[in-house]
Amino acid sequence: MQQFFATTPKALESILAAELAELGAQDIRETVAGVSFSGSLEIAYRVCLWSRIANRVLLVLDTFNVSSQDELYQGIYKMNWFEHMKPESSFAVSFHAKNSSVIKNTHFGALKVKDAIVDQMRKKFQKRPSINIKNPDLRIHVYLQNETAQLSLDLSGDSLHRRGYRDINIKAPIKENLAAAMLVRSHWSEIAKQGGTLLDPMCGSGTLLLEGALMAADYAPGLLTRQFGFLRWKQHDPISWQKLLVEAEQRKEAGINKLPTIVGFDQNRHTMNAALQHIANAGLQQHIHIERRDLKNAKPAESWQPGLVICNPPYGERLGEQEEVAELYQQFGHVLKNHFVNWQATMIISNPELGFRLGVRSKKPITLYNGAIECKLLRMDIQEPNFFVPKAKTQQQRLHEINASSEVMEEKTGAEMFANRLRKNLKKLTKWARREQIQCYRIYDADLPEYAVAVDIYHGDKIWVNVQEYEAPKSIDQVKANQRLAGVMAEIPKLLNINKDQVFLKIRRKQKNTDQYDKQADSRRFHIVEEGACKFLVNFEDYLDTGLFVDHRPIRFMIQQQSKSKRFLNLFAYTGTATVHAAVGGAKLTTTVDMSKTYLEWAKQNLALNKIQGEHEIIRADCMEWLAQEANKNQPRQYDLIFLDPPTFSNSKRMDNNFDVQTDHVKLILDSVELLAPGGILYFSTNFRRFKLDKPALSDLTVEDISEETIPEDFKRNQKIHYCWRIQE
């Protein structure tokens, strides 16, 4: 009997535990984001092949104490690595730490592990294994919690949620194992055995349909994957593995011809084509039907047996989208009640309040996580006793029946809803902010679809509030939008017990070029706020932004903590807030580069406000041009820490060429890396929501996505506020 650990997304642990029991695992114990179990190597192979919920299957090699960096090295070194790989093999290391006072930098921990393995193999064989991050012969996993390290081999290789049918260039809104969990919670297997139909009326790239077909066909999800982590492991048992493959193929052949009706609708031709390709990749093109059809026209054919309607509808996370999404949910409820009586329905949503728009009572919601977004799984019996008229619809009907003065009263009621939500957020966030000693933070982020505003609070000599209204879609009546905004502006001062002149309003429309940097007024009134032992000047009237990007607080704290005795470079520096954090953290020199004279003057004032003296250089230049010039020098400048946070787009007259972060980020990053000292770190961040990092062009670098850990608590509802990567040579 050997010890194993299967990882899974948060909230799927109990589903995975039940699955492991069915696969023959023993000593099953759930923990956060994973389940430990014991069994033979064949059982672990079976889990790799058949698990629909796990991400990875780890074989535990050893557990040892780590109270120093040397103890980590020695704990890895004592393992006989020749039992697991050849001297000429390749390997990769994954290192994670939690509550460790010894090793906080995961990259440093991974290097220690790598050094121990390489040193041992070199000493024994005068030959060293190589590092291959993309396709290694062996993946090694170390998890350090407090002072206890667990050393494991990753038997799965790539994450098991990647079945092999999806085009890697198409980003789906839901991972395969979350889709499988939705189907498990909806009892799809039992429905399928009774001949029930599976329909996704907003199928996108087809993930829910494919996972449903694999389940109903008794089709092992690992059959499409041929690069498991154990295949090049020295202790691999090919006979056991081959036996499992033969069994899985036989079960697939027996089950695939018994599939019930499985259908997907979507109105987007591009995603439909992606779904068709994915279905073909899985060999299920004869068993899953895809049709281009708008949601409002979704209804079953007469020949279909009642079954399960399942979907992952849009969440409406972006400001300005919520009204349209709310209407979509209401339309979906209408379709269910008119065409799918006696069916089951399941959907995953991030805003439970949108569920009421359906007009169908659900069973007790189940909490799941789509990435970092907390969601609720709604499960409904589409039966008339469960139908109700959504309150929003009743209010709309009343509007047509009463006069304009009543409409004002309804808006007042809506503003009270906004105030109740703001009160609830304040109760939670005020405690958090006080505990973390944070003075500037977001207290509302379009939580209610009708009130598409962001509200930030700043504690200085007074309480200041910055309200940003996102421009309503053209389909929304402007009078109605103005009334709602008036309600917001009236409720905030009352709730916070402040004067109206302490609340400022900005309308954040889609900007042209660099309009976001243009002056809105000329008050020249600045206020002092504090953040992490730093003081900053903010301005609520003259510019669209205040001078302090609240969502970047965690990365600024990171920079402060890592800057002691370091050389720091701040590119596209804005008002120099990151520079101040680096200087307060003990940086021995800083360089701040930006093209705006106004913002560089602001940065100088921020430095002076914090009484920072020493070698702190301010450079006014086009960052792209300045970087290229420095990178091409025979002896370029050297920095230990670089922060690169470019705008999404710029065509400033002071620039020779237009700047676009998607097009230009590779050159920016590569030129920045030329200025990194050995062991240095580059933090690259962008607020462009549709941004995609060009990983192949950066394959020679170590790139780690740290977006999740840089999203602060007050932005948890808006996980796409920015993306961030840690980059090293």
Taking only the tens place, the pLDDT of each residue in 177-215 is 999 999 999 999 999 999 999 999 999 999 999 999 999
pLDDT for the residue numbered 396? 36
- What tokens does 515 get? 């309009």
Closest C-alpha among 371, 311, 369, 380 to residue 12:
369
d(CA 465, CA 444): 11
**How is the chain split into domains, by residue range?**
2-154, 176-224+241-390, 404-510, 546-728
Q: For residues 336 and 361, is the Cβ–Cβ distance under 8 A?
A: no
Instruction: Tell me the pLDDT tens digit for each residue of 43-96.
Output: 999 999 999 999 999 999 999 999 999 999 999 999 999 999 999 999 999 999
**Lowest mean pLDDT across 57-71, 233-247, 262-276, 378-392:** 378-392
Average pLDDT in the chain: 89
- What tokens does 193 get? 């055995």
Instruction: Tell me the pLDDT tens digit for each residue of 596-631.
Output: 999 999 999 999 999 998 899 999 999 999 999 998
d(CA 336, CA 328): 12
Q: Is the pLDDT of residue 320 over 90?
A: no
Are both 176-224+241-390 and 546-728 of the same fold?
yes
Q: For residues 472 and 481, is the Cβ–Cβ distance under 8 A?
A: yes
| HSE of 215, CA atoms in CB hemisphere, 13 A | 28
Question: For the sheet containing 344-349, what is the strand order?
Answer: 289-292, 262-266, 198-200, 308-311, 344-349, 373-381, 366-370
DSSP 195: T
Enter the CATH code of domain 176-224+241-390. Answer: 3.40.50.150
Question: pLDDT above 90 covers what percent of the chain?
Answer: 71
pLDDT for the residue numbered 171? 65
Closest C-alpha among 560, 572, 568 to residue 596:
572
- What tokens does 268 get? 């987007």
Question: pLDDT above 70 covers what percent of the chain?
Answer: 90
pLDDT for the residue numbered 690? 82
The secondary structure of the chain in percent helix, strand, coil, rounded to multiples of 5, reads: 40, 25, 35
Residue with tokens 């281009």: 292
**Residue 704 pLDDT class (50, 70, 90 cuts):** very high
CATH architecture of 2-154: 2-Layer Sandwich (3.30)
Which residues does 127 contact at the CB level (< 8 Å), separation at least 6? 87, 88, 121
Alpha helices in 360-477 (DSSP H): 391-401, 404-436
d(CA 83, CA 685): 42
Please, what CATH class does the domain formed by 546-728 belong to?
alpha beta
pLDDT for the residue numbered 515? 40
Residue with tokens 């039966």: 383
Q: What is the mean pLDDT of residues 136-142?
A: 96
Higher per-residue confidence, 181 vs 271: 181
Which residues does 405 contact at the CB level (< 8 Å), separation at least 6? none
Q: What is the mean pLDDT of residues 316-326?
A: 57
Overall pTM > 0.75: no
CATH architecture of 404-510: 2-Layer Sandwich (3.30)
Q: What is the mean pLDDT of residues 294-315?
A: 93
d(CA 434, CA 430): 6
Instruction: Tell me the pLDDT tens digit for each residue of 647-685.
Output: 887 755 454 556 788 888 999 999 999 999 999 999 999
pLDDT for the residue numbered 401? 33
Query: At residue 153, what are phi and psi to the nearest 5 degrees?
Result: -100, 135
Kindly state the helix (H) or strand (E) to which residue 45 belongs, with its residue range.
helix 41-50
Q: For residues 547 and 657, is the Cβ–Cβ distance under 8 A?
A: no
Q: What is the mean pLDDT of residues 146-175?
A: 88
- What tokens does 76 get? 């890895």
